[in-house]
Amino acid sequence: MKAAVEMDMFGCPNRCKHCWIGHGNNAHVSTKDFIWVAEQFKHYQRDGRQLFDGLMFSSWYREPEFSDNYRELWELSKQLSTTPPNRGEFELASIWRLARDPEYAPWLRSHYVNCVQVSLFGMERQTDYYTGRRGNFKDCMRAIEILLDVGIAPRIQIFPFKSNLADFEILENTLRELRLEERVKDIGREFTCFLNTISTTGEGFNLEEVRINRNELFGLPSYFLEKTLKNFKTESFEKLWPTEEELMPLLMEDDQPLNDNPPVISFQVRSDFNVYPNCGENAEWWRLGNLKDYGINAVMDTFLKHGNPGLRLNYSTPLKYLAAKHGDRHGDRLYDRTDLGHRWIRMEVMGK
């Protein structure tokens, strides 16, 4: 089994209202404890054999490189990993640090980072509100310039909500004034810009009232709609994001569980040493156990035996059961199958 182990060593400067992981404390984890966590996974055996034949370790899973010693932690992560991590594969970087650390963007470029995602929620007031940090929009605008200066393409992700739709014509004009199409082409890449829906896990579960419907989506500027279809390589928003009403007939007949399996299995270790799988969220019903209190054996037993409510519902409960109990046959909000399934899983464990 190949896996990643991600330690939340320093936390995140934002409190994004859509965060699929959920909010955690910004405690500082020592390098000694990070090494200790890595050793638990590296030496873990099952039935007398090493379970993991490849492990990648990371010192973050919320804000990348939020700590001042990010260079040292990256080198340490490479030393600890049995499958060498490649920083150039990531599209995530710290917007907070890009706006403050003049050495960060060149460091990213030197590690073969060619593209960095910048998330917007409309213009300044809406972006700052939904990221939970005043000044974040200005940091995003500054980060775009800094990235282009070192030859890294900004990749613009935009979340439309019922509350920010009025911003989108202004936002389109703002992005066009930045000449991103031409400037990204000048560094040898194609400009990527797309709309996205919010996850239903973590903090995103609480944003259902502002989740848009199809009429609201089609009311957005055609520039964003065309870019989105191109990014997701589809010709139809009906296929990309169906409504709950459209999904219900299919899911009411679906005998299979959700089976959300991320491409890379990841164990997210919070600063309190509680461990969570990345097929869920940092919530009690997904918790695998605490490394300090119970040890790696108990944590991995919970994972492999689907020993918590989140894992059981993800891997064992037919979607038709969740659909019949929690689905809305007339729901007009936009989802994909996985996000809707995760919403029902959380409703089930919360008794809603």
Arithmetic mean of pLDDT, 26-30: 94
Q: Kindly state whether residue 352 falls inside one of the protein's structural domains.
A: no
pLDDT at residue 127 greater than cutoff 80: yes
Q: Tens digit of pLDDT for each residue in 320-349?
A: 999 999 999 999 999 999 999 999 999 999
Q: Which residues contact 268 (CB under 8 A, 6 or more apart)?
A: 6, 8, 21, 61, 275, 276, 277, 278, 282
User: In this structure, are 149 and 41 located in the same domain?
Assistant: no
Residues 250 and 331 in one domain: yes
- Does one domain contain both 247 and 228? no
> Is residue 132 predicted with pLDDT exceeding 80?
yes
Residues 115 and 185 in one domain: yes
Judge if 22 and 9 occupy the same domain: yes
The confidence score (pLDDT) of residue 51 equals 93
For residues 20 and 81, membership in a common domain is answered with yes
Give me the percent of the chain exceeding a pLDDT of 90.
97
Same domain for 96 and 73: no
Same domain, 129 and 39: no
Residues belonging to the chain? 352
Helix H or strand E segment including 274:
strand 274-277
Task: List alpha helices for 16-159, DSSP H.
Answer: 31-42, 70-80, 95-98, 104-110, 124-131, 136-149
Q: What is the pLDDT of residue 287?
A: 98
pLDDT digits (tens, 9 = 90+) for 208-232: 999 999 999 999 999 999 999 999 9
Exposed / middle / buried, residue 134 (Cβ in 10 Å: 0-12, 13-18, 19+): exposed
Domain of 209 in residue numbering reads as 88-236
Asked whether residue 146 carries a pLDDT value surpassing 80, the answer given is yes
Does 352 have pLDDT greater than 90?
A: no
Dihedral over Cα of 173, 214, 227, 232: its sign: positive
* Torsion sign over Cα 209, 214, 216, 221: positive
Q: Do 40 and 179 sit in the same domain of this protein? A: no
**Is position 294 within any domain?**
yes
**Number of domains observed in the structure of the chain:** 3
pTM: 0.95
